Homo-oligomer: A and B are copies of this chain.
Amino acid sequence: MTYLGNKLIANVFKALGHPTRIQIVKLLRNGELCVCDILPDLDSEQSNTSQHLTVLKNQGIVESRKEGSKVIYSIKSEKIYEMIDLVEAIILNQIEETKTSLSK
């Protein structure tokens, strides 16, 4: 694959490379939410949250629509959750490994 292709791929991973953005994605696992419902569950300012949502949107991870004065965000592809599940499995493996090497 070309450098350009790897850059596109890396950009998606990069967008997922922040704890707040991971949390946003997880919040959306049960369905769409307006920003007003996302905000109280996060530990960051309104403007910062808005910026994180923009990053996720720019990489096609979430999409949004307007409903009255609210903006509703949703996940564009369930594939994102498969990715998160894979990462969690990788992390669990490593924890197991660390445990094993400690008890030797």
**Copies assembled:** 2
Contact, CB under 8 Å: A87 / B17: no
Asked whether B14 lies within 8 Å of A13 as measured between CB atoms, the reply is yes
Chain B residues near A11 (CB, 8 Å)?
Answer: 17
Main secondary structure of the interface of A (DSSP, over half): helix
Chain B residues whose CB sits within 8 angstroms of the CB of A22 once the complex forms: 6, 9-10, 13
Q: Are A79 and B84 in contact (CB under 8 A)?
A: no
Interface size on A, residues (CB 8 A): 38
- Mind listing 9 A-B residue pairs with CB under 8 Å? A1-B23, A3-B19, A9-B22, A12-B91, A13-B16, A14-B14, A60-B94, A77-B93, A79-B89
**Max chain B Cβ within 10 angstroms of own Cβ: one of A3, A22, A80, A84:** A22
